[in-house]
Amino acid sequence: MANTKIIVANWKMNPESSEESKKIAVEIKNSIKSFNKNKIVICPPFVFLNEISNIFLKNEKISIGAQDIFVGDGVSHTGEISSEMLKNIGVKYVIIGHSDRRESLDSDSLVREKLFGALKDGFKAILCIGEKERNEHGDHFHEVKGQIESAITKLSKNLIKNLIIAYEPIWAIGKKESEAVKPEDLHEMTIFIRRVASDILGIKEAEKIKILYGGSVTKNNAKEIIEKGNVDGLLIGRESLKTENFIKLIKSANHMDR
C-alpha cells in the first residue's frame, strides 16, 4: 500500500446543477471500479455533498471531502456548516485554507483554528499552503515556512496521522499545464516542507504527513509531477470536472514507480 496515491478532486464552485454533479460522480464511480488502486477524494460544493456522498456510499476507494469547515461553538451561526453535519452525511476529508479562501476570508489564525478543529473532530484535513510568487531570493520558502508554522505548531501527536499538506503555489493555479510547477522545484519544496514540519513535530511525526501538489495538473503532467516531484498525491481543480481526462489521470497514477 506504500505506493497508494491520494488524488483529490476539488470541484470548487462547480458544476452549476445537481444533475451535472451526479452525472460526473456516477461516471467516475463506474469507470474506475475495475482498475483504481489509489485513494480518490471528491470534494463537491456543500449543496451537492449529500447526494454525491450517497453515490459513493460504502465505496472504499472513493471518499467525500468538504471544501471548508466551521469549527466554532454553539448552534447559532447563520450560513455555516458544522462538523457534525458533515460527519452525518459521510464526509471524511476537509480542505482547509485553500488560497481562494485565504485571499479574502481565512486568516492564518482561522486556518489554524479550522485545522485543529477538523482533526480533533476526526476528519482527515488537507491543509493548503503555497506562495503567491517566486523570486530569485527564495522568499517563497519563507512564506511557506510561515504558513506551516502558523498552522501546525503545538499540534498534538495523535492528530498528525490525519494531516495532509497540499502545496499549491498560487502562481500555478488555474494556468496552462505547461505552467504547473517544475517537478524538480516541487521535489525541493517537498523536502523543505518536511524539514519545516520535522523541526516543529519531530522527524518521526513529520514522516507520517502526506504531501500533495495542486496547480494546473492535467492527465498529461500528473505522472511526472508525482514521480519526479516526490509527492504522495495531487489536488486537482479544473481537470477533475472533465471526467474523461480525470479518469485518464487516475489511470496514469496507477502506473508509478514511486
Task: Find the shortest distance in angstroms from Cβ 97 to ligand 13P.
Answer: 11
Catalytic site residue 168?
A: yes
Task: Find the shortest distance in angstroms from Cβ 27 to ligand 13P.
Answer: 19
E strand intervals along 118-200: 124-129, 163-167
Task: Find the shortest distance in angstroms from Cβ 180 to ligand 13P.
Answer: 8
- Among the listed ranges 50-58, 79-87, 156-164, 235-243, the one in contact with ligand 13P (CB under 6 A) is 235-243
Binders in 156-195 for ligand 13P, by CB under 6 A:
168, 173-174
User: Could you tell me the maximum CA-CA distance found in the chain, to the nearest angstrom?
Assistant: 50
245 burial (CB, 10 Å; 0-12 / 13-18 / 19+) is: middle
User: Cα–Cα distance between 206 and 212 in angstroms, integer?
Assistant: 14
Active-site hit among 131, 140, 168, 239: 168
- Counting contacts by CB under 6 A, is residue 228 touching ligand 13P? no
How many CB atoms neighbour CB 244 within 10 A? Answer: 10
Question: Which residue in the block uniquely carries the three cell numbers 466551521?
Answer: 70
The 3 state secondary structure assigned to 42-99 is EECCHHHHHHHHHHCCCCCCEEEEECCCECCCCCCCCCCCEHHHHHHCCEEEEEECCH
Residues that bind ligand 13P (rule: CB under 6 A) add up to a total of: 14
Select the residue interacting with ligand 13P from 214, 223, 249, 253 (CB under 6 A): 214
Catalytic site residue 98?
A: yes
Nearer to ligand 13P, 100 or 205 (CB): 100
- Among the listed ranges 30-38, 103-111, 146-154, 231-239, the one in contact with ligand 13P (CB under 6 A) is 231-239
Active-site hit among 98, 131, 140, 239: 98
User: Cα–Cα distance between 257 and 36 in angstroms, integer?
Assistant: 16
Which amino acids are annotated catalytic?
98, 168
